Amino acid sequence: MNRDKLGLLLASVNQRITDLNTDSVPARLLINDPTLWTQDPAGQEEIKIRLGWLKLPETSRELAKETMKFAQEVKDAGIKKVLLLGMGGSSLGPEVMSLTFEADFPLPEGEGGGVRAFAILDSTDPAQVAEARKDFPPDETLYIVASKSGGTAETMSAYYYFWEQSGEDGSHFVAITDPDSNLEKMAIERNFRKIFMADSTVGGRYSALTAFGLVPAALMGIDANRALTSASTVMNDTEDALFLGA
């Protein structure tokens, strides 16, 4: 990574990297050491079950295959557009991918799916909702309802609106949520096209390489496996990883 552009900040960043190495932060992080965050025993127990993101470049491999297969099925079904309904961690990862990785990780010729148009609705502003309805009509759109808790008010409000607009057609909806959430139960009852289970050990802000990021990525035509490989490379390059963290 090019550090020269940091200018006057370079010295303080380098010092921070030195401090992190002195405290063995990389090694402690990779063994899920909760004392990096707190000395409180109760807090440590909570942290231990929230560190699944550290292994996502490897544990998400099968999910990546599943998402790419699903993207091809969506394309074969003639669905031309995808609208993601989500807030915060459920939408920020896909937004970054849509702006950054599509050109870097295109699917090999003849492989996977990808649709003609992809957008994110993370607002309850009536004008934005109306524009989304105009640009993503139900007859040619797949709606992704993404909520880790399964009850995010803004996301579910958007879902109820587009559910009504679609004529309550579950084949135009996909759910991404934690196991046993209300959204999962509703998606089963309403016969959604697909339900992707999120990893309950990964917080929303760290979920880019879980179903919250990989499902939209595959539908955009991004090669999820190559994205995971790139993430794994960064994980194995301690110096670059520390630079990003510093």
The pLDDT score that the predictor gives to residue 117 is: 85
Q: What is the pLDDT of residues 42-67, one digit of tens each?
A: 999 999 999 999 899 999 999 999 99
Q: Are residues 71 and 28 in the same domain?
A: no
**What is the average pLDDT across 1-27?**
84
The pLDDT score that the predictor gives to residue 129 is: 95
Q: Are residues 146 and 36 in the same domain?
A: no
The pLDDT score that the predictor gives to residue 105 is: 45
Q: Are residues 96 and 22 in the same domain?
A: no
Q: Are residues 144 and 168 in the same domain?
A: yes
Within a domain: residue 123? Answer: yes
Q: What is the pLDDT of residues 113-152, one digit of tens each?
A: 555 588 999 999 999 999 999 999 999 999 999 999 999 9
Q: Are residues 64 and 30 in the same domain?
A: no
Query: Which whole-number Å values give the CA distances from 76 to 145, 165, 180, 222, 242, in the listed order?
Result: 21, 23, 30, 17, 43
- Mean pLDDT of all residues belonging to the chain: 88
Three-class secondary structure of residue 148 per DSSP: coil
Query: Which whole-number Å values give the CA distances from 9 to 5, 149, 188, 225, 243, in the listed order?
Result: 9, 39, 52, 35, 12
Within a domain: residue 9? Answer: no
Q: What is the pLDDT of residues 62-74, one digit of tens each?
A: 999 999 999 999 9
- Range scoring the smallest mean pLDDT among 85-89, 117-121, 242-246: 242-246
Q: Are residues 147 and 75 in the same domain?
A: yes
pLDDT of 26 above 60: yes
- Identify whether the C-beta of residue 154 lies closer than 8 Å to the C-beta of residue 85: no
Within a domain: residue 159? Answer: yes
The pLDDT score that the predictor gives to residue 246 is: 65
Q: Are residues 203 and 84 in the same domain?
A: yes
Q: Are residues 132 and 205 in the same domain?
A: yes
Within a domain: residue 195? Answer: yes
Within a domain: residue 148? Answer: yes
The pLDDT score that the predictor gives to residue 104 is: 47
Torsion angles phi and psi, residue 81, rounded to 5: -135, 155
Within a domain: residue 134? Answer: yes
How many domains does the chain contain in total? 2
Residue 112's CATH number: 3.40.50.10490
Confidence band (pLDDT; 50, 70, 90) for 82? Answer: very high
Within a domain: residue 144? Answer: yes
Q: Are residues 115 and 34 in the same domain?
A: no
- Which domain covers residue 38, as residue numbers? 18-49
Q: Are residues 166 and 219 in the same domain?
A: yes
Q: Are residues 88 and 205 in the same domain?
A: yes
The pLDDT score that the predictor gives to residue 231 is: 85
> CB-based contacts of 212: which residues, under 8 Å, 6+ apart?
86, 89, 90, 93, 94, 146, 148, 176, 198, 204
Within a domain: residue 203? Answer: yes
Q: Are residues 184 and 76 in the same domain?
A: yes
